[in-house]
Structure 1
Amino acid sequence: MTSRTGRAILGVLAIVTVGAGAGPALAQDGSAEARLRKVEAEVRALQRTVFPGPEGRFFQPEISGSSQGQTTAAMPSTTAVTDILARLDALETQIQSLTAQTENNTNALSQLETRLSALEVTGGTTSGQGGGPTASQDNLSAMTGGASSAQTAQPPAAGPTAARLAAVQEIAKPQTDDAGDDEYSYGFRLWDAGFYPEAQQQLTLFVEKYPDHWRTTYGRNLLGRAYLDAGKPAEAAPWFLKNYQADKQAARAPDSLLYLAEAMIASKDTSRACIALAEFADTYPAIAAGRLSDQYEGNRRKVSCN
């Protein structure tokens, strides 16, 4: 955009040119007029894009032929040069306004894209349960959907405090000839002390590193309990189900099936809780009447099964 001083100089040159010869001056005025009308038309088109009106209509452009006519009528003594300068002033004002509005629109779009990106990341944070069991062919196959249902995204957990780290470090890890049993026993000690997240991490490490160890049935069952005791029944349920399905004769298989019922009760899923309780009574009648009778009857009193 030419500065006002530059336009003034051009104006003086135009006046000199007019004085030198009327024919060339008229030709230059006609050329300038045509260029100005072209620029004004482009500004009006841009104005309609940046300042759209409601329902598909557009605001009237601030630069129009009638306003030019009024300006000319109000200033009958102006020369062609001063009229050009006035119209250039109007064009500069409109372009500045359009530029400002365009910048505002660009900033608003940038903020909207940032918010959408954040929502996509957040929305995406529902997560299934990794490492969960596959469905069996018996009546517990219906458990899979409820036991490993997606969880709403949780905010990032704050890091452990110095006092908690010190307390965890006070729990000694056994050092025996059976490394697998040492890993399980350390997880048990963490769980027994109420350090559930640490126990979950330790027991997960154990069951993944020693899938065939004689303690693995204890490890999967205790891992489920570490989630259940932490108030996360949906994360606990897959471990209980997996431990039962892996080997129904294993030492902690009946315990896991009964805890699976507890996880379903905690999730307010009565139908699946009843399935687990019925399976437990059918598969382990002696244990239901003996070692785990109190826990079994306590769970039955919490739900109404057909």
Structure 2
Amino acid sequence: MRFLIAAAALASVLGFTGTAHAQSSVEGRVDRLEREMRAVQRKVFPGGAGATVEPQIRPEQSPVEIPGVPASSPVADLTQRIASLESQLQSLTGQTEQTQNRVNQLEDAFAAYKRSTDARIRALEDSLSAVPVRGGADGPATGGSGSNGGTAAAPPVPAPARPTGARAEQLAAIQKPNGADPAENGYLYGYRLWEAKFYPEARKELEAVVTAYPNHRRASYAQNLLGRAYLDAGAPSLAAKTFFDNYSKNPKGERAPDSLYFLAQALEKLNKPSSEICRVYGELEKSYGDSISAEIKSGVAAGRTRHKCK
């Protein structure tokens, strides 16, 4: 009898120890999984603030226990916690892999776009590399004429000498804007000078805007109009360089499409081959498409017909 009692006591002790050991092992697994879960969440959501991910696959909910049914054991509770943590880890791992894949795709697309854009710009640079920049008939030596009265030498940056006579009176009649934005004032005044065919004075104002305010919205306008001032004054070489610079250095500027169009006009004035002019028209349509104004679309269509562009 004493032997049976001792055996029963020993079995009870051993059973309790085994259960405690199993529970300790499972708790260790839970602690490890919870630490890994928190580490993954800190990496995926570095901002914190409760940015956790609910598991996409949840364990089935236990049925409502009828009063009197014994509660689940600690091991069963820990097992359920493990299943939930493993589900969350699987969900986070999948989302992380999908995000990384999208980032890789975006990087590849941007790299391809950059290579394509660089190649097109190099092709245009090759076309312009043969354009001579010289004085004489193709230099900025032609001053304004006609309604603005008189002609005078016009270097790239006009001399600061004050004009005299009828020209001075006509210049004085052109109103200078006095708004709060100096870049806007400079561009508008340069535009009024260009419109009145005072090309040297217009170039001076427009160059000042481009130099002083390269990141202003009007910089694209000023650079494009500067090229037109060169072109209208009979300096297509300088005009071509100015137009190309406006497109290549500020392709998202509002007057970049216009500069490509007038670049083709400058190349035509220089008697460049039709293949080079057609290349510029092609770049214009490829880069800007439907954003081109109706006036430029009409001019491009006429130019492509004139030069038999394919």
User: What is the TM-score normalised by the length of structure 1?
Assistant: 0.51
Question: C-alpha offsets along residues 23-75 of structure 1, whole Å, 9 cap, x if unaligned?
Answer: xxxxxxxxxxxxxxxxxxxxxxxxxxxxxxxxxxxxxxxxxxxxxxxxxxxxx
Map of 1:254 onto structure 2? 257
Which of structures 1 and 2 has the bigger CA Rg? 1
C-alpha contact (below 8 Å) 2:217/2:253 kept by paired residues: no
Equivalent of 1:294, from 284, 290, 298? 298
Map of 1:72 onto structure 2? none
Distance in structure 1 (CA, Å) of the matches to 2:178 and 2:223 = 21
Distance in structure 2 (CA, Å) of the matches to 1:279 and 1:181 = 29
Equivalent of 1:196, from 194, 199, 203? 199
C-alpha contact (below 8 Å) 1:221/1:243 kept by paired residues: yes
C-alpha contact (below 8 Å) 1:221/1:255 kept by paired residues: yes
Relative to structure 1, is the Cα distance of residues 180 and 279 closer, same or farther in structure 2, using a 3 angstrom cutoff?
A: same
Distance in structure 1 (CA, Å) of the matches to 2:180 and 2:292 = 36
Map of 1:284 onto structure 2? 288
Distance in structure 1 (CA, Å) of the matches to 2:202 and 2:230 = 9
* Secondary structure of 1:176's aligned partner: coil
Code of the aligned partner of 1:242: D
Map of 2:125 onto structure 1? 141
Matched, 1:157 2:141: no
Relative to structure 1, is the Cα distance of residues 176 and 288 closer, same or farther in structure 2, using a 3 angstrom cutoff?
A: closer
Map of 1:115 onto structure 2? none
C-alpha contact (below 8 Å) 2:236/2:269 kept by paired residues: yes
C-alpha contact (below 8 Å) 1:265/1:303 kept by paired residues: no
C-alpha contact (below 8 Å) 1:287/1:293 kept by paired residues: no
Distance in structure 2 (CA, Å) of the matches to 1:152 and 1:178 = 35
Distance in structure 2 (CA, Å) of the matches to 1:288 and 1:173 = 31
Map of 1:218 onto structure 2? 221
Of 279-288 and 167-176, more deviation after overlay is shown by 279-288
Equivalent of 1:275, from 274, 279, 301? 279
- Structure 1 runs (4+) deviating above 3 angstroms are 152-156, 158-161, 287-291
Compute the RMSD of aligned alpha carbons. 2.4
Relative to structure 1, is the Cα distance of residues 286 and 195 closer, same or farther in structure 2, using a 3 angstrom cutoff?
A: same
Question: C-alpha offsets along residues 181-214 of structure 1, whole Å, 9 cap, x if unaligned?
Answer: 1011110110111111111111111111111111
Q: How many equivalent residue pairs?
A: 171
User: What is the TM-score normalised by the length of structure 2?
Assistant: 0.51
Relative to structure 1, is the Cα distance of residues 150 and 289 closer, same or farther in structure 2, using a 3 angstrom cutoff?
A: closer
Of 216-225 and 248-257, more deviation after overlay is shown by 248-257
Tell me the CA shift for residue 165 of structure 1: 1.5
Tell me the CA shift for residue 231 of structure 1: 1.6
Structure 1, unaligned runs of 5 or more = 1-134
Relative to structure 1, is the Cα distance of residues 172 and 233 closer, same or farther in structure 2, using a 3 angstrom cutoff?
A: same
C-alpha contact (below 8 Å) 1:174/1:186 kept by paired residues: yes
Matched, 1:304 2:294: no
Question: C-alpha offsets along residues 101-155 of structure 1, whole Å, 9 cap, x if unaligned?
Answer: xxxxxxxxxxxxxxxxxxxxxxxxxxxxxxxxxx9542212133134x2314567
